[in-house]
A and B are shown apart, each in its own frame.
Chain A
Amino acid sequence: MSYAYLFKYIIIGDTGVGKSCLLLQFTDKRFQPVHDLTIGVEFGARLVAIETKPIKLQIWDTAGQEAFRSITRSYYRGAAGALLVYDITRRDTFNHLTTWLEDARQHSNSNMVIMLIGNKSDLEAKREVKKEEGEAFAREHGLVFMETSAKTSDNVEEAFINTAKEIYEKIQEGVFDINNEANGIKIGPQHSTGNNSIPGGNNRSNGNGCC
C-alpha cells in the first residue's frame, strides 16, 4: 500500500469523552455504536486523500500513559497531530482542557497541530457546554474547533481530515522537518510515484487498509 505521507495522531482528553469511538468511527465506519456499546481500541489506521495525495493516518491511543511520565512525553513527541476531545454534555471535561493543552504544549514539538473536538453533539438535550464556548476556547489558544458526534459520525471524517490538511499545509510551507521521523511524519515508501492515486478515502472495504 503506497502513500505520500504518513501522519501520526494521538487522541487526548478525559476518560469517557468518546476518544475510542471517534477512532473506531473514523477507521472503521461499520462499527455502529448501538445499545450504548462502548468499545475501547488502541490503534487504528486509514488512508485518506488530501489534494489527491494519498495520506495515511495512524491514530495511536494513549491509554494507560498516566502512570509513567516518560511515556506521556514520548507520546506527545512522536505525534504530528492531536485531537483534544471533550464531551459537550459534561462541563468538567471542558474545564480540564487547559491542563491537557498545557501538557501537550509542554511535551510536544511546537509544530504539532491540535484540533479541539466537542464530541457527542447528538445529545443536544443534555448539552452543558455551548458551541460558542468551545469556539472561544479554540480562538484563544489558536486551535481549530469542531463539534462531532461519534455516534452519528457527524463531522468525524472532517475532524481527522482537516487536521491532516493543516499538517499537509505545514509541510508545504516547510515548517515541518519531514526527514525527521520524530515529528510523527513519515514519507511514503514510493513518494515519487504520483500516479498511484487512490480513489478517495471511503473505500476501506476495498483496499487492504482494514480498520
Chain B
Amino acid sequence: MIEFRAVSKSFSGGAVAVEEFSYVLPSHRTVALVGSSGSGKTTLLRMVNRMLEPGSGTVLIDGRDVREFNKVALRRSIGYVMQDGGLLPHRTVAENISTVPVLNRVSRKEARVTALELLEQVGLDLTLADRYPAQLSGGQRQRVGVARALAADPNILLMDEPFGAVDPIVRRELQNQLLALQSRLGKTMVFVTHDIDEALLLGDEVIVLRSGGRIAQVGPPAEILAAPADAFVRDFIGADRPERVLRIVETQGRKVVLDQAGRPAGVLAS
C-alpha cells in the first residue's frame, strides 16, 4: 500500500508540480496515473522511491514514511521501469537484468539463472542474454527493462511512461505482456502515462490528473468512461470521440458494434 498524504512539491523555478495530493494506492493492484505534461504524474511517481523528496506532506509505504528508509535500500526494493528501459549500455542483457541482485551481493551465477528465467517470462529469446542493449530493438529493450525491475521480486513496481518510445504495434504487445505478467504476479503497480487508452487498458484504477497534480477523477476505467466527472475529464478521455460512443446492430445473426461514425469496431461475444 502506497499512501500520499497532502503531498506538495514545487521546483526551484517556483513551478508547482504537485499541490496537496492525497490518495491511497491499494496493494496488488495497478493504478494508472494519467495526465498531460505538467500534471505532476512523474513527480508523484518519483517521490515513492525518493528520487524526489516532497516539499511538504508524506509518502508512506505500508504505513511507514519513506523518509525512514535508507534511500539506496528503498530503491533496490522497488522495481523501476523508465522509457526505453533505461538500461546500462555497457552491460549485457543478462547483466542488466541482474543489476539489483548483484548490487545486493547475490552470486553472479545465481543472478544469471534468475535473469534467464525472467528473460523467458517477458517473452524474450534466451539467445539475447549476452547481447548489449544497443543490439536490441526498442521493444526488446523495454522488455529487458521490465525483467530488470522484477529481478529482486519487489512488491512495488513503478512504471514511468515505459512504453512511450516504441511504435504502436509493439506498444500493444508490451501492454498485453504486462497485463499477463501482472495477473500472475499481482504487484502493487503505479503506471504513469499520458496516453488515456493505455491508462484505461492497464489500470485497475485510473487517476486523471489536471495541472499541479490535482485529481480530476478517480475510479475504475469503466466508471470513468461511463461518467466523466466534468468537462476536463470528458475532454481528456475523448468522450466525444466517435470511437468512444458505440452502438450495436445485428448483421448475419451476430451483434456488431459500430462507433458513432458507423465504422465497425468488433462483434459482441455470444
State yes or no: do A and B come from one complex: no
Interface residues of A (CB under 8 A from B): none
Interface residues of B (CB under 8 A from A): none
